[in-house]
Structure formats: structure tokens, C-alpha cells
């Protein structure tokens, strides 16, 4: 019997020395769960976390430009972020500024997207289900922080993600992966079928990780584990990077970069309300 293998693209602090994604996992659909934020700039909340909250309501792992967007009233309102991920397997501890929590990979990914865009609607779906994705009214973003090493034809949900990116019906933010490798190249002989399907898609974004949020006075660089765009011009045109400050949160990996970009996309969608997914991308 052939067992499906799927790998998340993030890892907790205890695994950073390995610079590898966690073991394969699978789970069941967890649909219909949404979190709808309020309008306006998010209010500051008390926290006993080691990742302090800033005066503008943002948290220590966020880039300052998120606070600037919030102050202008753009928080992702009216946009849906669909997180396709693991919501069933082993949870682990981390801290995004709300104190230490124990959550599964997908819950951490969804929380990051929702914290960056607190006005967005967050929907959670388990990966590798035998059904498509029910997109919502308005602008949709799909975040996929994992990889598959089998043909897309065997995975209807992942095929639907690729179809949406090629049709331009949703923005797809895809983690670049953690093998210090070129996006689209095999790792130990295995190709990521989801990545291959998204190369060239007009509303797909591959997201790599920087080692922190840079400033003109404190420049950053690509995290040593992050995949990179390489020489393929299509991938280079689709590739973005954001800071992943795992020393503050306990979360390392491009898994946790992709939902930041998903949140950015929701913020842009709440500002440019008539823009298409391809235009936002």
C-alpha cells in the first residue's frame, strides 16, 4: 500500500538544528470555522508574553508597516483567508505575543494570518481532502504551508488550489520550503507537486523567510533554511520574502512566512476593494 506523504514547511525551535520539516501527516476536513475581525485599528491587549505587544497594537514579530496599514484603517476587512493545513496532528508550543499556547501546525499558520489581518475572515480546511474548496464571496486568499510528493491528480483539494491560482479566482500564498534549495527543484529525489503546479500561475506567490524584519539600519538576509527562487524567471517573478523572527516566537520556517504574506494580501484587498486576485498578487 502506498502511503501519502505530506510535509509542513515550518518547524519549532527545538528542530531548527535539523533544518528539516516535520514528519508527514494527514488529517480530516475542518471546514466552516471562521473568525471575523472588527473594523478599525486593533486595540492593544495585555500580554504576559516574552514577545511584547507594541503601542500601535502590533506584535514584536511583525514588520512596522503592518501598524502603518492598521492606522490607516486597512486590516483585511471583507477578505477571506482560506488556510489549507494540518489541524489534527500533534500540537506544539510557541508564543505569538498572546502568551505560550499549544496548537497544531495549521492553527499557528491561521493565527498568524489572522493577526496580520484582524479584519479578515479566516476559514480552516484540512489538506488532502477529496473535495474542492468552497471560496467565499469577495476576495479570497488560499494559504498552503506544506508540500506533497505525489502527482496532483491524486489530490483533488490541491488540484483545486492550483486551478484557482491559474484562473485568478484566488490569491495563493505557498511556502517556499525549508531545504536551502531552489524552488521547483527536487529534495532527495522528490518533487513538490504543489509547487510545480503553481509555477507561472498568475495569482500564486512563493514565500521565503528572512532571518528577521529588516530596516535600513538593520538589514536582513534570507534565512539559512529557506528555499530561494534560483534562475527560473517565472519563479523569480512570483517570489517574496518576509521576516520570520523565531527567536521571539519559537516558530521557524517558511510555513510561518506564507501566512504573513496572506495577511498582507488581505490588507491590500481591504484598501483596493475593486482589485482582482491577480492585480493584488
pTM of the model: 0.85
C-alpha cell at 156: 483533488
13 Cβ contact list (under 8 Å, min separation 6) = 94, 246, 250, 251, 252
CATH class of 75-279: alpha beta
Q: What angle do CA 268, 270, 274 make, to 5 degrees?
A: 90
CA dihedral 27, 137, 145, 40 (to 10 degrees): -120
Task: Name the phi and psi angles at 252, rounded to 5.
Answer: -120, 150
Tens place of pLDDT for every residue, the chain, 281 residues? 333 445 566 644 332 222 233 322 222 222 222 222 223 333 434 445 788 899 999 999 999 899 999 999 999 999 999 999 999 989 999 999 999 999 999 999 999 999 999 999 999 999 878 888 889 999 999 999 999 998 898 999 999 999 999 999 999 999 999 999 999 999 999 999 999 999 999 999 999 999 999 988 999 999 999 999 999 999 999 999 999 999 999 999 999 999 999 999 999 999 999 999 999 99
- Tally the residues of the chain: 281
Q: What angle do CA 130, 131, 136 make, to 5 degrees?
A: 155
Whole-angstrom distance, CA of residue 73 vs CA of residue 228: 33
Amino acid at each position: 500500500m502506498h502511503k501519502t506523504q505530506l510535509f509542513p514547511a515550518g518547524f519549532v525551535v527545538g528542530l531548527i538544528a535539523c533544518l528539516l520539516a516535520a514528519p508527514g501527516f494527514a488529517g480530516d476536513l475542518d471546514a466552516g470555522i471562521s473568525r471575523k475581525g472588527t473594523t478599525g485599528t486593533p486595540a492593544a491587549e495585555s500580554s504576559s508574553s516574552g514577545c511584547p505587544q507594541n503601542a500601535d497594537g502590533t506584535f514584536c514579530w511583525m514588520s512596522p508597516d503592518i501598524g502603518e496599514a492598521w492606522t490607516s484603517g486597512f486590516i483585511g476587512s471583507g477578505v477571506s483567508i482560506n488556510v489549507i493545513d494540518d489541524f489534527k496532528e500533534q500540537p506544539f508550543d510557541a508564543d505569538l505575543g498572546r502568551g505560550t499556547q499549544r496548537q497544531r501546525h495549521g492553527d499557528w499558520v491561521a493565527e498568524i494570518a489572522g493577526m496580520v489581518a484582524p479584519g479578515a475572515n479566516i476559514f480552516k480546511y484540512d489538506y488532502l481532502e477529496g473535495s474542492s474548496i468552497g471560496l467565499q464571496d469577495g476576495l479570497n486568499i488560499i494559504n498552503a504551508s506544506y508540500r506533497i510528493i505525489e502527482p496532483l491528480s491524486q489530490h483533488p483539494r490541491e488540484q483545486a488550489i492550483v486551478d484557482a491560482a491559474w484562473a485568478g479566482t484566488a490569491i495563493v500564498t505557498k511556502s517556499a520550503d525549508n531545504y536551502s534549495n531552489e524552488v521547483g527543484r527536487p529534495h532527495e529525489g522528490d518533487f513538490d507537486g504543489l509547487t510545480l503546479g503553481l509555477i507561472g500561475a498568475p495569482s500564486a506567490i512563493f514565500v521565503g523567510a528572512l532571518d528577521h524584519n529588516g530596516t535600513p539600519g538593520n538589514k536582513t538576509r534570507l534565512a539559512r533554511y529557506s528555499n530561494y527562487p534560483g534562475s527560473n524567471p517565472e519563479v523569480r517573478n512570483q517570489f517574496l520574502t518576509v521576516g520570520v523572527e523565531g527567536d521571539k516566537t519559537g516558530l521557524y520556517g517558511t510555513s510561518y512566512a506564507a501566512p504573513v504574506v496572506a495577511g498582507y494580501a488581505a490588507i491590500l484587498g481591504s484598501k483596493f476593494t475593486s482589485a482582482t486576485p491577480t492585480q493584488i498578487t
